[in-house]
Amino acid sequence: MTTTDRDVNDIDAMLGASRAALDEVVHAVDQHSEVLFTWDYERSRPALVKLYEKAKTSQWNATTDLPWDTQVDNEKMAAEFGGSNARFAVLQNLDGSPLAKWGQKEWARFAIEQQTWMLSQFLHGEQGALVCTGLITATVPWIDAKYYAATQVVDEARHVEVFARYIEEKMGGAYPINPNLGGLLDNIINDTRWDITYLGMQIMVEGLALAAFGMMHMVTSEPLLKQLLRYVMSDEARHVAFGVLSLREYYAGLSQEEILSRQEFAFEAALALRNRFFAPEVWERSGADPRAVIKFMTGTYNPGQDMFQAMLFSKIVPNCKKLGLLDAGDGWLRQKFTEIAVIQFEDWADTSEEYASLDAVARDRAGA
């Protein structure tokens, strides 16, 4: 099936049915991209030089800069987070819901599972970022981008470290990677084109992460998680800016046909990222039939779901616009993003303009 005739509400895709559950400890992916040396050491990209300097002064230490001795109340945290999920209201209120029999106890248990699942996917996505950015140091042809990517590798190691520790110490263990997220990471790494690593990771996966971290940071009052997310977001904003600043230059020189294939990749990634939030693993562990639940959620008028999706894409859409991807080729991607109801925040600031204002580490140090 090509991207253009794909059913965006394919339940099998939402369930991740095309991919076996990842229950192995080590997962291998073939990698086909070319490794590039450059003998041109001139610092010719001032925006990347500035970003690199910022990265060097905004490092933090996961071991000493976070209050790890905080006692975490999982039920309270899940209740705060669950309350923001208006997208589940249709399952609670409408006739014919497969969860009509669920009471407060079932929803409270689901909220805890959902929270653990969400942080677990953050963890696995962070490892994806660690691997992809290591790859970029090798495949990108520009010295300024190799320097910057090297700082991002350290950032991502720290992010994997903090989420792994939080889940292990405060939540009692992680969910496996969601098949839609895992499949997307494989596709990003498999691709031969160096810019696709950036587009898939820095623009799509990290753009969505930045918005999702922001939503969780806003609703949680748990002090350790709040500070952890604040510092991770401070780094993520630079990473997304790295993608925008690098690809903007590169995409300005591509043909219409080459741009169309990037638009298609971005849309496939968007579907995988959206689909993962249907979280079939959580429904299953909570004793519900994932297929029936997802079918009901998507087959019913659900403004809560549309708003949730639009918020998740509130960084991705303005950044795609800045890259020229939204409106190239008669607005192909604009139309697709409209179809999946994520176009809403297209005129919000793009991350290459707002990253400096999100630097929480520098702000804390200036106030100290």
DSSP letters of 106-146? HHHHHHHHHHHHHHHHHHHHHHHHHHHHHHHHHH-S-HHHH
The residue among 11 and 123 lying less far from Fe ion, judged by its C-beta, is 123
CB neighbourhood size of 42 (10 A): 8
Least CB distance to Fe ion at residue 239 (A): 4
Rounded Cα distance between 4 and 7, Å, is: 9
Rounded Cα distance between 252 and 323, Å, is: 8
Least CB distance to Fe ion at residue 24 (A): 23
Binder among 124, 230, 238, 239 for Fe ion (CB under 5 A)? 239
The residue among 131 and 341 lying less far from Fe ion, judged by its C-beta, is 131
The residue among 153 and 279 lying less far from Fe ion, judged by its C-beta, is 153
Binder among 113, 206, 268, 346 for Fe ion (CB under 5 A)? 206
∠ CA 316-34-190, rounded to 5°: 50
| Single-letter amino acid code for the residue at 337 | F
Q: 326 with 317: CB under 8 angstroms?
A: yes
Taking residues 284 to 313 in sequence order and writing x for each that binds Fe ion by CB under 5 A, - otherwise, the string is ------------------------------
The residue among 78 and 135 lying less far from Fe ion, judged by its C-beta, is 135
Least CB distance to Fe ion at residue 122 (A): 8
Rounded Cα distance between 194 and 133, Å, is: 11
Nearest CA to 200 out of 210, 192, 189, 212 is that of 189
Q: Is 204 in the site for Fe ion (CB under 5 A)?
A: no
The residue among 159 and 315 lying less far from Fe ion, judged by its C-beta, is 159
Taking residues 98 to 127 in sequence order and writing x for each that binds Fe ion by CB under 5 A, - otherwise, the string is ----------------------------x-
The residue among 195 and 236 lying less far from Fe ion, judged by its C-beta, is 236
Question: For residue 333, what are the CA distances in angstroms to 4, 267, 339, 342, 355?
Answer: 11, 7, 10, 11, 25
Phi, psi of 270 (to 5 degrees): -60, -40
The residue among 195 and 206 lying less far from Fe ion, judged by its C-beta, is 206
Least CB distance to Fe ion at residue 126 (A): 5
Show the tokens assigned to 91.
């399952």
Binder among 55, 91, 129, 196 for Fe ion (CB under 5 A)? 129
Q: 30 with 192: CB under 8 angstroms?
A: no
Report 139-158 residues binding Fe ion (CB under 5 A).
156
The dihedral sign for the CA sequence 302, 308, 314, 320: negative
The residue among 45 and 159 lying less far from Fe ion, judged by its C-beta, is 159
Least CB distance to Fe ion at residue 231 (A): 11
Binder among 45, 54, 159, 334 for Fe ion (CB under 5 A)? 159
| Single-letter amino acid code for the residue at 283 | W
Per rule CB under 5 A, count of chain residues that contact Fe ion: 7
Least CB distance to Fe ion at residue 200 (A): 13
Q: Is 66 in the site for Fe ion (CB under 5 A)?
A: no
Which residues make Cβ contacts (< 8 Å) with residue 10, sequence separation at least 6? none
Least CB distance to Fe ion at residue 130 (A): 8
The residue among 204 and 342 lying less far from Fe ion, judged by its C-beta, is 204
Tokens 């409209």 correspond to 338
Task: State the residues that interact with Fe ion by CB under 5 A.
Answer: 126, 129, 156, 159, 206, 236, 239
